């Protein structure tokens, strides 16, 4: 009896779970623990400066939502680079109160470490594996690959190695070149991680910011399953940050955490981080099935999304805090 064998793409059979999507995700603040030590007045001032931008974004992006805009707000707390002075049981009520004092509702709070590991998934490593560095114009192989160096650029570095085999005839200096330059280059070279002597990998804020944007855009999956799904806040709140879920939902009636587009209100001092994150995102290969799923859903809602992920991300830089 003949056995018929059929072949098909593995990705074609893989089930990719959908995640609920808002039209817009608004990040009201990124707070390190030095910010939290400044007290409720400082936090209220931060949220007061973010409130007009959030309202403006809601009006601007509400034009293509058929009159029923879905938007959610979030705050990121840095529990990765700093030492938390106080636990969630003290910090979260203070945050909620500061936002409410200026008429804002915080829907979600995320820990920075959620971009490193969440729900048993090494999120940062998962994104690192999807890096596809831009091809260089011509290279001598003097620059090690990103997997080894932990550095990613948007072009060709300048030639700085003058110690060649003929010191009497030094090489002519060659300026750096941006791969997609228009008239003139704006060259970026970004550190993604650093391996400590202990063997631990320390991810950069720029790379974790890129991961964070992918989470907010609903573009990350682990074997087809969503990552860092928000969890309803439970009472009493824990005293230790590792006991708090990676992303907690503070508002039970909030619109979905992930969204078709994102807006982040940032301190102007972090402007370079936002620029670096956009460059990194431009060199990450998005899961085709996930990308198609979101584009199809947005089209069904009458929303036109850019093919490039960076076209769905917006920043407001405020130098007032």
Q: What's the confidence (pLDDT) of residue 161?
A: 46
DSSP-derived secondary structure for 81-123: SS--SS-HHHHHHHHHHHHHTTT----EEEEGGGGT-BTTB-H
Domain contains 148: no
Residue range of the domain that includes 294: 18-129+204-318
Domain for residue 157, yes or no? no
Within a domain: residue 261? yes
Question: What is the rounded CA–CA span in Å between residue 156 and residue 255?
Answer: 43
**pTM here?**
0.87
Are 175 and 137 spatial neighbours (Cβ–Cβ below 8 Å)?
no
- Whether 190 contacts 204, CB under 8 Å: yes
Any domain includes 136: no
Asked whether residue 189 is domain-assigned, the answer is no
pLDDT band for 146, please (50, 70, 90 cuts). low
Instruction: Give the N- to C-terminal CA distance of the chain in Å, as an integer.
Output: 76
Pick the closest to residue 51 from 92, 91, 101 (CA basis). 101
User: Within a domain: residue 65?
Assistant: yes
Confidence of residue 3 (pLDDT cuts 50, 70, 90): very low
What's the domain count of the chain? 1
Tens-digit pLDDT profile for residues 16-26: 999 999 999 99
Does residue 147 fall inside a structural domain? no
Q: Are 80 and 116 in contact (CB under 8 A)?
A: yes
In eight-state DSSP terms, residue 101 is T
| pLDDT over 70 (residue 213) | yes
Q: Looking at the predicted structure, is the pLDDT value of residue 164 above 50?
A: no
Residue 192 in domain: no
Span 178-192, pLDDT tens digits: 777 777 878 888 999
């Amino acid at each position: 009896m003949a056995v018929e064998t059929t072949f098909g793409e593995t990705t074609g059979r893989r089930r990719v779970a959908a995640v609920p999507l808002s039209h817009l995700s608004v990040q009201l603040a990124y707070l390190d623990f030095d910010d939290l030590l400044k007290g409720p007045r400082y936090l209220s001032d931060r949220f007061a400066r973010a409130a007009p931008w959030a309202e403006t974004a809601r009006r601007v992006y509400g034009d293509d939502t058929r009159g029923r805009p879905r938007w959610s707000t979030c705050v990121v707390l840095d529990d990765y680079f700093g030492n938390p002075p106080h636990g969630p049981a003290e910090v979260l009520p203070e945050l909620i109160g500061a936002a409410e004092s200026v008429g804002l509702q915080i829907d979600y709070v995320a820990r920075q470490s959620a971009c490193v590991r969440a729900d048993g998934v090494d999120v940062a490593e998962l994104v690192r594996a999807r890096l596809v560095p831009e091809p260089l114009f011509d290279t001598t192989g003097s620059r090690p690959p990103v997997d080894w160096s932990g550095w990613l650029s948007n072009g060709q570095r300048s030639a700085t190695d003058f110690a060649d085999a003929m010191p009497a005839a030094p090489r002519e200096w060659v300026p750096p070149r941006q791969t997609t330059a228009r008239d003139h280059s704006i060259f970026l070279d970004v550190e993604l991680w650093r391996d400590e002597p202990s063997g631990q990998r320390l991810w950069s804020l720029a790379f974790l910011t890129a991961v964070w944007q992918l989470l907010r855009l609903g573009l990350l999956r682990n074997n087809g399953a969503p990552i860092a799904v928000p969890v309803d806040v439970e009472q009493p709140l824990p005293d230790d940050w590792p006991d708090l879920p990676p992303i907690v939902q503070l508002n039970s009636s909030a619109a979905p955490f992930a969204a078709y587009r994102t807006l982040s209100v940032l301190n102007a001092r972090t402007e370079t981080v936002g620029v670096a994150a956009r460059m990194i995102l431009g060199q990450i290969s998005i899961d085709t099935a996930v990308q198609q799923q979101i584009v199809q859903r947005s089209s069904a809602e009458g929303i036109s999304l850019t093919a490039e992920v960076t076209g769905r991300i917006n920043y407001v830089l405020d130098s007032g805090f």
